[in-house]
């Protein structure tokens, strides 16, 4: 709705402002064009990298084992057993990611359904919202309205801020991995951006995978990958997050992680998409109605 309202407020000299329906149509056209460009330009190299990674991984496991065994005190850490156990897990994971891609696309119907509902809410959401408030007594209606408005503002800012952080990490990772000539750098750059929605754990798991692949070429590449991530985390925590997420919903990392797990378990991809906003809404309601605040 903020985008629709912006389109409706735009007015050229001597022209009338566009209606809400026209603004929604223009927004949908932009979204459709963005999706088409994504499928035509961005998605094919990611799929190629994913397919190649799934095919090459079994052949690269011996090289990983050999490099680990050359490390000092390698026999003390049991790297042979570790590699044998991880070989099947990594191969199965890579094969699953590629083989399950059609299943991800099967959820397209759910996303289209959500899009249709979104259009209806943009057209008639204000009436539905007023009807919802009318179900509550007059004395509590004002408080509920203020709480919902506050929740909407905070969730919107969180979503926009998180999207910016994911985009920044994805672009910088792809660029740096490409400069370091890491194999499958497009795939890993996209994974870095997407996994950034999971606090701490998502980035750490992905960077360890990238470092492992980079180590197959040289220890220097692996050191460069870890150095990049160390510098990025410090820049994000010290500069990006305070400015981008200053007035966001401010959910704890553990809360976000639990919400994503629960949402994915309950409703798959669609559940994951709405998990964090739902958790933020619940947090705002708990602040308003359940948290016992000290009286002055």
Query: Distances in Å between the alpha carbon of 78 and those of 58, 88, 144?
Result: 20, 17, 59
The pLDDT value given to residue 238? 78
Query: Distances in Å between the alpha carbon of 10 and those of 21, 31, 77, 121, 232?
Result: 14, 19, 65, 22, 38
What is this structure's pTM?
A: 0.67
Q: Tell me which residue has tokens 């708990």.
A: 286
Backbone angles phi and psi of 250, in degrees to 5: 60, 50
Dig out the tokens for 67 from the structure.
């490099």
Dig out the tokens for 69 from the structure.
């065994």
Cβ neighbours for 158, distance < 8 A, ≥ 6 positions apart: 245, 248, 249, 251, 276, 277, 280
For residue 75, what is the DSSP state? G
Q: Are 183 and 177 in contact (CB under 8 A)?
A: no
**Closest to 169 (Cα-Cα) out of 204, 139, 195:** 195
**Closest to 98 (Cα-Cα) out of 134, 136, 51:** 51
Cβ neighbours for 170, distance < 8 A, ≥ 6 positions apart: 189, 190, 192, 193, 194, 196
Strands (E), the chain: none
The pLDDT value given to residue 60? 63
pLDDT means over runs of 10, the chain (296 residues): 81 74 88 85 76 69 62 51 52 57 64 83 87 89 90 81 87 91 84 79 82 81 90 84 65 76 80 81 86 65
CA dihedral of 123, 125, 127, 129, whole degrees rounded to 10: 180
Q: Tell me which residue has tokens 């959820």.
A: 107
């Amino acid at each position: 709705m903020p985008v629709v309202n912006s389109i409706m407020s735009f007015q050229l000299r001597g022209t009338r402002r566009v209606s809400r329906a026209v603004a929604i149509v223009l927004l949908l056209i932009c979204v459709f064009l963005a999706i088409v460009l994504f499928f035509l330009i961005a998605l094919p190299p990611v799929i190629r990298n994913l397919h190649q990674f799934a095919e090459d991984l079994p052949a690269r496991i011996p090289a990983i084992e050999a490099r680990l065994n050359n490390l000092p005190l390698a026999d003390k850490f049991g790297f042979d057993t570790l590699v044998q156990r991880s070989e099947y897990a990594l191969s199965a994971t890579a094969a699953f990611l590629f083989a399950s891609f059609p299943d991800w696309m099967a959820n397209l119907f759910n996303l289209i359904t959500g899009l249709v509902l979104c259009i209806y809410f943009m057209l008639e959401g204000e009436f539905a919202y007023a009807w919802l408030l009318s179900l509550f007594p007059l004395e509590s209606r004002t408080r509920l309205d203020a709480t919902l408005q506050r929740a909407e503002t905070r969730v919107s800012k969180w979503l926009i801020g998180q999207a910016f952080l994911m985009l920044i990490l994805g672009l910088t990772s792809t660029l740096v991995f490409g400069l370091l000539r890491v194999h499958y750098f497009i795939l890993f750059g996209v994974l870095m951006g997407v996994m950034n929605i999971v606090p701490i754990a998502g980035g750490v798991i992905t960077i360890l995978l990238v470092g492992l692949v980079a180590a197959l070429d040289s220890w220097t590449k692996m050191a460069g990958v870890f150095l990049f991530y160390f510098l990025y985390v410090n820049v994000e925590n010290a500069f990006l997050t305070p400015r981008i997420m200053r007035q966001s919903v401010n959910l704890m990392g553990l809360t976000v992680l639990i919400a994503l797990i629960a949402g994915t378990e309950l409703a798959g991809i669609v559940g994951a998409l709405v998990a964090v906003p739902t958790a933020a809404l619940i947090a705002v309601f708990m602040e308003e109605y359940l948290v016992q605040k000290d009286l002055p």
